[in-house]
Structure 1
């Protein structure tokens, strides 16, 4: 049940960019502007700070634990089995909902009127692509990222060269709750860097590659989002931007470049596909890791004998996403996903706080932890309630499986599988159970 290390730094960066430069930049600006008004860029800055803290905490942990599963692994190693499991559960259910949201977003741009069947077809096609191997998925992501960057560059150039101008300086009253709500909405578009950490067992030289790839991908995404948001604000102004359902298409129209509208629609569809591709990749790896530890059905921990990917986990995730895409509401899927992802990163920051380090790294962990909880609290009440209910169900399942494992005994199939000798899933030799490391500062 081991994976093959095929991805270099460039591939890992592109996986992160493919996840972050998804449909969020095409859709999240309008609701964020409704929440923050002229203070939209302040909301973007808050989202970027929280995402940056999360990324630094994740990078430190990923370098120490280069395994598939991301925060599921970090929480289990640093905080205990329950917190690792809860992070993995929040990630799997939250990002599965996000997969459905991205599939529906793609279909709404590419096949209006046929959204649900088109979304299901997209999920099936990308699941099959992931089955063929992570390297092929990374190659597809290169093409998708190039197309999306070209479209966004065209929007920025057209907008800044157009006749309409609004002042970027914030106008109107400042409402902290509105800025935080906008940050929560925009954080949804930043969260894709977790895909890099979840590929820990498929990246070459992970201790060096993962932190570098996370930093490059997050920094590049922030620059792109800032340019696009500033362009939309200067062309449309905060009030019109808040009222638009397709803000970037409206931006190029107002700038006198209406011929770019079909290009923007194609770019949005391709971006959603890229995000969906990376999401399915990351969710299936966390599912694989949880199944390997018997927190999910053990048959999901198998790898394909030829393509060396967790094919059963990928197929199961694809099936669930297809069902959701055929039944759920887009806005509800996004809100539920945001709640799960923010709690996932809260566990990552808490885990990073247990690592020895300088005061600066501890401040980063505290800011990330508090920021995740605050942004989660700004989400709609329905999303928070649904998220708490699903987390409660996950906690109950954990208690049931743990009780069964204890009753069955260590030699039984129901008991958690012990890592094989020499496996990378073993505890690092220089780490002590209490979290202190020799020579740590």
Structure 2
């Protein structure tokens, strides 16, 4: 959740809403909290690999479960490519970026292949380092603002400049940046005492991440202003540069690159487990349902994912996938909210599921139209595949 999104998402959000991205962040936080309570409540009852794919099947039927699982897989596979390319863009010159991005994907697939404990250990190291870099960025920004009150006046005067449509669009784009709490639920079969650990982990992770995002967003807006932030290719690098801390620029670039690796590592882990669950039910080829006898990971699903991401890395633009990924993730959480609404064993009131579902719909319809159209087409293609498979199975 504290990955490449915090280094990349503020620029498109500022382009959509200006300083109103802070309102967008608050809206995204409310929707995320509602979705998180749904995921936590469902995970406590169904501690199995697959997350909302499993919950949708159990509470709503096979088709809603398939839509959730397919949306997650396609959206997050595209995000894997984005994270790999983001890493390479910070780490190496442009001519080397695609080959280095492919190597990053292959390396992290190998880490995942050898078991979840190695994945967790590497994630812990990455998060600690990235938090230290973000703290450096915040301190540099505040130091540069210590004697100037003008940015604060400009910020408060321009909060509503983007209008409500722009604010909602920024919320959808920012939602992409910290929607990783679903990954916790997808690992249900590999967690100790999952009915207690998963709900607690989801809410703690979301709360801590939102605080970090809010602080960094305010500092970035105060330091750069909405217009400069909207046009920045590397916004948080520009923050330390604008503050005069030129020596910190390489550190921030390294932090962004490592954050992208952390996000990519978590994505590969989550997609592999959802693909495993779908393959068990033949919603993906059953060949992907294999679990390694020693390392206990869905090794075939992760190897196939790695190959697909490498192909995307060589063919897509990193900026084109944020809206597409948000479409898939929001559709995934819409199913989670509806499934949680039907539960009889409850931890949270149904009003949260209603608010979360309505929030998902509102954010989807305000995403860039091209992203929505691409998402609809790919979901439709997946539905056709499943309908053909069911027809052939019925004939047999």
Task: Answer yes or no: same fold by TM over 0.5.
Answer: yes
Q: Is the 1:127–1:315 contact (alpha carbons within 8 Å) kept by the matching residues of 2?
A: yes
| 1:294-309 matched pairs, under 5 angstroms | 294-309=282-297
**Larger fraction in helix:** 2
Residue number among 48, 51, 65 corresponding to 2:32 in the alignment = 51
Compute the TM-score of the two structures, normalised by the length of structure 2: 0.96
| Mapped pair 1:400 → 2:388 | yes
Deviation at 1:32, TM superposition (A): 0.8
Hey, what's the Cα distance between the residues in 2 that align with 1:122 and 1:184? 28
Q: Is the 2:41–2:348 contact (alpha carbons within 8 Å) kept by the matching residues of 1?
A: no
Deviation at 1:268, TM superposition (A): 0.3
Hey, what's the Cα distance between the residues in 2 that align with 1:358 and 1:129? 37
Structure 1 segments (4+ residues) deviating >4 Å = 357-360
Deviates more, 1:350-359 or 1:227-236: 350-359
Hey, what's the Cα distance between the residues in 2 that align with 1:133 and 1:170? 51
Deviation at 1:112, TM superposition (A): 2.4
Hey, what's the Cα distance between the residues in 1 that align with 2:344 and 2:30? 22
Q: Is the 1:82–1:398 contact (alpha carbons within 8 Å) kept by the matching residues of 2?
A: no
Deviates more, 1:144-153 or 1:256-265: 256-265
1:33–1:144 Cα change, 3 Å: same
Q: Is the 1:39–1:170 contact (alpha carbons within 8 Å) kept by the matching residues of 2?
A: no
Q: Is the 1:31–1:182 contact (alpha carbons within 8 Å) kept by the matching residues of 2?
A: yes
Question: Match for residue 122 of structure 2?
Answer: 140
Question: Match for residue 272 of structure 1?
Answer: 260
1:316–1:360 Cα change, 3 Å: closer
Q: How many residues align?
A: 389
| Cα distance per residue 1:35-73 (max 9 Å; x no partner) | 111222111100111111111100000110000000000
Q: Is the 2:34–2:353 contact (alpha carbons within 8 Å) kept by the matching residues of 1?
A: yes
Question: Match for residue 134 of structure 2?
Answer: 152
Residue number among 16, 20, 23 corresponding to 1:42 in the alignment = 23
Q: Is the 1:88–1:286 contact (alpha carbons within 8 Å) kept by the matching residues of 2?
A: yes
Residue number among 370, 374, 391 corresponding to 1:386 in the alignment = 374
Q: Is the 1:50–1:367 contact (alpha carbons within 8 Å) kept by the matching residues of 2?
A: yes
| 1:365-380 matched pairs, under 5 angstroms | 365-380=353-368
| Structure 1 residues not aligned, in runs of 5+ | 1-19, 409-441
Deviation at 1:174, TM superposition (A): 5.6
| 1:81-100 matched pairs, under 5 angstroms | 81-100=62-81
| Cα distance per residue 1:98-147 (max 9 Å; x no partner) | 10110010011101211111111110000011001011010000110011
Compute the TM-score of the two structures, normalised by the length of structure 1: 0.86
CA RMSD after TM alignment: 1.4
Hey, what's the Cα distance between the residues in 2 that align with 1:396 and 1:243? 40
Hey, what's the Cα distance between the residues in 2 that align with 1:170 and 1:264? 30
Residue number among 224, 231, 237 corresponding to 2:219 in the alignment = 231
Question: Match for residue 414 of structure 1?
Answer: none
Hey, what's the Cα distance between the residues in 2 that align with 1:358 and 1:338? 28
Question: Match for residue 90 of structure 2?
Answer: 109
- Structure possessing the higher relative contact order (Cα contacts under 8 Å, 6 or more residues apart): 2
Deviation at 1:407, TM superposition (A): 2.7
Hey, what's the Cα distance between the residues in 2 that align with 1:96 and 1:301? 18
Hey, what's the Cα distance between the residues in 2 that align with 1:26 and 1:366? 31
Q: Is the 2:11–2:231 contact (alpha carbons within 8 Å) kept by the matching residues of 1?
A: yes
| 1:13-412 matched pairs, under 5 angstroms | 20-113=1-94, 114-163=96-145, 164-165=148-149, 166-167=151-152, 168-171=155-158, 173=161, 175-356=163-344, 361-408=349-396
Question: Match for residue 419 of structure 1?
Answer: none
